[in-house]
Amino acid sequence: MAISIISSSSVIVLVVTILCSEVLCKPYPKCDPDYPDYGLPIYKRDVELLQFAENLEHLEADYFLFAAYGYGLDIFAPELVGGGPPPIGARRANLDNQTRNITGEFGLQEIGHLRALKSTVGGFPRPLLDLSESNFAKIMNSAIGYKLDPPFNP
């Protein structure tokens, strides 16, 4: 019985100690480790993977910028286009002002991602992107396995 009381109180002390050190006594908890002061190296084997991601960043940048503003990288950051063709069928979306603002922020962030990638793993011209309603409808039909009616429209 005595042992059990001691061990219960030890457990309570342990739990309080953990809570105190991890939660209660850390007013600004953050994820460790911190970013290093210097940039991390990009391993050679990762370069192609990051270049693949660059395609996606192109898609996201023009998708969000067009949705928010009705124009994209050709106006915001023509230096990132590298002579690639403009996207097919992209246009301004019918959004409320708050959603438009947030969508625009996403687009501007994608410009930052493209700049970071192109300056570290090299760039290539923007690929031809089909951002038309009909293409999204086709992709969504194919993803779910039947034809949606009305068609999907992002």
Ligand X SMILES: *[C@@H]1O[C@H](CO)[C@@H](O)[C@H](O)[C@H]1NC(C)=O
Residues in touch with ligand X (CB under 6 A): 97-98, 101
**Least distance to ligand X, CB of residue 92, Å:** 12
Rounded Cα gap, residues 116 and 83, in angstroms: 19
Count of beta carbons in the 10 Å neighbourhood of residue 151: 13
CB of 46 to ligand X, least distance (A): 36
H-type alpha helices, 1-154: 2-19, 44-69, 73-76, 97-121, 133-144
CA-CA-CA-CA torsion sign (65, 70, 72, 77): negative
Output 4 or 97, the one with its CB closest to ligand X: 97
Distance CA 61, CA 103 (A): 10
- Report the residue number, 101 or 153, with the smaller CB distance to ligand X: 101
Q: How far is the CB of 69 from ligand X (least distance, A)?
A: 11
Amino acid at 41: P
Cβ atoms of 80 and 114 closer than 8 Å? yes
Q: Of 98 and 119, which has the nearer Cβ to ligand X? A: 98
CB of 103 to ligand X, least distance (A): 11
Nearest residue (CB) to ligand X, 95 versus 137: 95
